Chains A and B, each alone.
Chain A
Amino acid sequence: VGPWAALLLAVAPLPGAREVPPLAIASQVGATSPMQVTAEGIAFDVDGWVAVFLPLPGAEVIQVDYRATGNLMLTWGSADGTTTPSPHSPPWHHEPLEPGTGRRTLELRTTAGWAADRVPYLFVEGTGSFVLTGLRARPAPDDAAAVDRSRDEALRWAPIRVAHTTINLIEPQVWLASRDLLVTDLLGGIFLAGALGGTLAFWAWKRRWRPAPFLAGSAVAVALAGNAIFAVRAAPAVALAPSLDPTVRLAAWRDFSPELGPLAALARGQVGPGEAVGVLAKRSDWFGWETLCFHLAPRRCVQVLPERPEHAGLQGVDRLRWEQIDVLLVFHPEVPLPPGWVPVAVLNRNSFVARRR
């Protein structure tokens, strides 16, 4: 039910939005990679990532129609034009894009640092192509108080965005962002009012000091309210469709990267349990090689750094020399595939499994 509800919400018409034909704004669109303006829309070749800044200052929600190929993930946010945005910073707003045509409604008010004068950006990562075929935008209200109210409402029920830092803390839930009022502070205040108020009222009425029932009753009521808010916010992120086949689950897992889960699943079908694996990826991408090595266990697996005589795996437990490596997992490498190696199973041009010729 959850995924279907999310899908229906995503494709539902956006009330109050105005149509913005992509071709009409193409000349004002800023992008980090070359773009092509076609009859269909604004097209990008995604080779790693591409950031697209839309000339829609003041938009609070936008709706994008797209056609995608390959393995892509869409991250969105807003920028002020003077600093480089950090798309993966919490709360990280992101969704994998299925190949084919689709529509996404993108809430900007809940993204980090949103303000009515900022412009929205799309950050598409992975490997494939992305064509922006349609665009609608709902502008923020004109007066500041209405903007605050609008943002307060959006943040109050904003879904929890699971990201790399969620294991350390879940982003504090705000009730009134404009007044820095957090849900827990509000609930705590209500709890205290209920517990103390009830206790004192009972004392005034019966002249008996019985705080326990009021403490307990108030605590349960407030905790249930907090739980309900948490459940509503957490529901979109909860996986409720387990599969008994781990490889199927891994192939469908694109919560943090559009390619790592499918590549790991692909590799598990290609690499024998006794074979040694090297991962050739960007040096700075710790998440990529660690994810691949972990999900390929129990196979020996290392991060390949070409200049090293010996390559190390997770925590340096696995150590392999170049000649000991049987299979290469290539994931957005900085260097070309070494001579003598050929792809044997390909997810896309940046993500594949290679073996010695």
Chain B
Amino acid sequence: VIYLVVALATCASGIALLRLVRLDTGSVAVDVPMGWMVGAAWFALGAFAARSLAGIATGGWVAAAILALPVAGWAVSRLRPSAARIRREAPPARQAHWLPRPVGVFAPMVVWILVAAVGVTMHGASTPTHTDDAYRVRGLAPVLVARGDWTYEARAVVAMAGAIPAFVPALPWVAGAPIEPLHVGWASVLTFLALLGVVIGLGAARGSPRVGWGSAFALTTMPLLLYHWTSTYSDAWLAAYLGAAFAFLVAYGRWGEEGDAGRALLLLLGVAMVKREGELLALPVIMLLLAQVAWQGRRDGLRAVTRLLGPCIALPVMLAARVATVGVDGAFPFLRAAADRATGPTAATDAAVSLAGGGASPSPARIFLDAMFSDGNLGILYWVLVASLVLLFPRVRRNGLAWSGLALGVLLAETAASALWLYPQFTLDHSTVHRALLPVSAAAAVWLAALLADDPTVPATPPPAEPRSVRRARRRAGARA
């Protein structure tokens, strides 16, 4: 019961936060799953900052206060509706459309999505954590948070896991449920379901159910990603937030609604709260998003960028919390590794190069390409992506996918740089190359679905109804007038 209550409370907190910053979509199907993701990120940020910057342990009351804050803020904001808010937030009305066509094509896809969702949920909820990384970091961090450990060793584990994987699974335990290591993966499974909900709901809400269902289908055709949802590994968290962010990035490119840019930004901030390299994935995409907003907004562009900068305060807060937790050296190990690598090969890379040179193993580049195209861990995603990019290139611009495509390219380049240049030894031994591709592959799946399934030459159905909060505000303003 506590798990259910906590999930609902997190969701409610996220929805309240979305309404407070006027980024709710007006569609329950989108706002509820996104509420979970945003609420989880909000709680993780608040709890992590409170613990590391203010020394406040994550107890039940603290958790309740963090979750209640957006609800209170939203309640207060409802008392003061403003005409400006109504003007800014009223999106063009569209009608939700859930059934993709042709039904004959999409029906088996929907069946597969359901099979994958049930399989992941059942297996993820039933299987005890069993990987070394989970024992040492990903599953251990929430236990330490719930236990209140804050020694240097405990802080190092929490910082390594990242705020979201460390604090969110611990939430039911700090709320009073007994600490149960077997349930540490439940939050990850719920986030997987939330991701599916966001992409399907958003497609339906925007009158493009083919994009929504296509995204969910593409996301569930990657065997290794499905397996990761059932583990406690953080690559699954990264994939969830990045995939959901890309759903809004492509929507922003397609429809140009500023709200979608804001929603993408919130989810990208969530990406930055996973592992110690989350911000390295999130930052370039955020920069590109802001550039896109400035470019598309034209005369109002800079003002729009300024409006988006508000939530970005989360990023320095999170980084400051991490530095306070483990110091500068421990907070940014990847930057340090990159600096070391740039100044000359390290012992590990030397060993890797000599191993590859011996002819016993293919080169890192070959292994990286095999991981993308041949090994099957990512299904046939990259075959379809490359072919679609070549054959449908004009559609990239027409569908408004150029900026998000550029962001995808940057992410892929980052992943390749890590696998081929920074840590080739982990590519040669196959230990990280496949799972390092999972986050960018989730983004690629969503982007690909928008490229393949969305045809702007087909007249779109009307936009969804405006958010309920805006409707209420409009009614109140009308009544006062």
A residues with CB within 8 A of B: 164-170, 172-173, 182-185, 187-188, 191-192, 195-196, 199, 211-212, 215-217, 219-220, 222-224, 226-227, 230-231, 234, 238-243, 246, 249-250, 253, 255-256, 261, 286-287, 290-291, 293-295, 297-298, 314-317
Contact = CB atoms under 8 A, between A and B. Distances in A.
Contacts of A287: 132
Interface string B424-445: 0000001111110000000000
A164 B131 contact: yes
Contacts of A220: 105, 108-109, 217
A178 B228 CA distance: 31
Contacts of A216: 105, 452-453
Interface of B: 105, 108-109, 112, 115-116, 119, 122-123, 125-137, 139-140, 143-144, 146-147, 149, 151, 153-154, 156-157, 179-183, 217-218, 220-221, 223-224, 227-228, 231, 233, 371, 373-377, 379-380, 383-384, 387-388, 391-392, 395, 430-435, 452-453, 455
Contact of B128 (A222, A261, A290, A314): A261
A271 B392 CA distance: 62
Given A219-B452, A317-B157, A286 B123 contact: no
A168 B430 contact: yes
B181 A227 contact: no
Taking each of A231, A242, A297, which has the highest tally of chain B beta carbons within 10 Å of its own beta carbon?
Answer: A297
B133 A315 contact: no
Nearest to A228: B112
Nearest to B149: A317
Given A168-B435, A238-B123, 10 more contacts: A164-B131, A192-B383, A219-B380, A226-B376, A230-B376, A239-B127, A243-B126, A291-B135, A314-B135, A317-B149
A317 B135 contact: no
24 contacts: A168-B430, A170-B227, A170-B376, A182-B375, A184-B379, A185-B374, A211-B392, A215-B387, A216-B452, A219-B380, A220-B105, A220-B108, A223-B380, A223-B384, A227-B379, A238-B122, A246-B180, A291-B130, A297-B140, A297-B179, A298-B143, A314-B140, A315-B140, A315-B156
Nearest to B232: A167
A224 B112 contact: yes
Contacts of B228: 167
Nearest to B378: A184
A317 B380 contact: no
Contacts of A253: 127-128
Contacts of A240: 119, 122-123, 126
Given A182-B376, A222-B380, A253-B128, A168 B434 contact: yes
A258 to B, nearest CB: 14
Contacts of A239: 122-123, 126-127
B224 A223 contact: no
Contact of A226 (B137, B147, B380): B380
Contacts of B233: 167
Given A215-B387, A220-B109, A182 B374 contact: yes
Contacts of A293: 135
Contacts of B376: 170, 172-173, 182-184, 226, 230
A315 B156 CA distance: 9
B122 A242 contact: yes
Contacts of A294: 129, 134-135, 139-140, 181
A234 B223 contact: yes
Contacts of A167: 131, 133, 227-228, 231, 233, 435
Nearest to B124: A239
A17 B380 CA distance: 39
A188 B386 CA distance: 11
A257 to B, nearest CB: 9
A315 B128 contact: no
B109 A191 contact: no
Taking each of A165, A173, A216, A230, which has the highest tally of chain B beta carbons within 10 Å of its own beta carbon?
Answer: A216
A184 B373 contact: yes
A215 B374 contact: no
B119 A226 contact: no
Contacts of A195: 387, 391
Contacts of B431: 168
Contacts of B133: 167
Contacts of B144: 317
A286 B132 CA distance: 9
A92 B472 CA distance: 60
A298 B146 contact: yes
Contacts of A250: 128, 182
Contacts of B231: 167
Contacts of B379: 184, 223, 226-227, 230
B388 A170 contact: no
B223 A188 contact: no
Given A168-B432, A188-B383, A234-B223, A242 B375 contact: no
Given A191-B380, A215-B392, A219-B380, A241 B126 contact: yes
Contact of B380 (A168, A187, A238): A187
A216 B223 CA distance: 20
A177 B395 CA distance: 39
Taking each of B218, B220, B452, which has the highest tally of chain A beta carbons within 10 Å of its own beta carbon?
Answer: B452
A345 to B, nearest CB: 20
B108 A224 contact: yes
Taking each of B128, B144, B156, which has the highest tally of chain A beta carbons within 10 Å of its own beta carbon?
Answer: B128
Contacts of B149: 317
A215 B384 contact: yes
Contacts of B135: 290-291, 293-294, 314
Contacts of A261: 128
Nearest to B133: A167
B217 A223 contact: yes
A230 B224 CA distance: 11
Given A242-B125, A290-B136, A298-B146, A170 B223 contact: yes
A245 to B, nearest CB: 10
A227 B453 contact: no
A169 to B, nearest CB: 4
A337 to B, nearest CB: 25
Contacts of A249: 126, 128, 182
Nearest to B231: A167
Given A169-B377, A226-B380, A317-B149, A297 B130 contact: no
B227 to A, nearest CB: 7
Contacts of B147: 297-298
Nearest to B375: A172
Contacts of A165: 430
B380 A295 contact: no
Contacts of B151: 317
Contacts of B134: 294
Contact of B182 (A164, A219, A246): A246
A297 B154 CA distance: 14
A193 B73 CA distance: 56
Contacts of A242: 122, 125-126
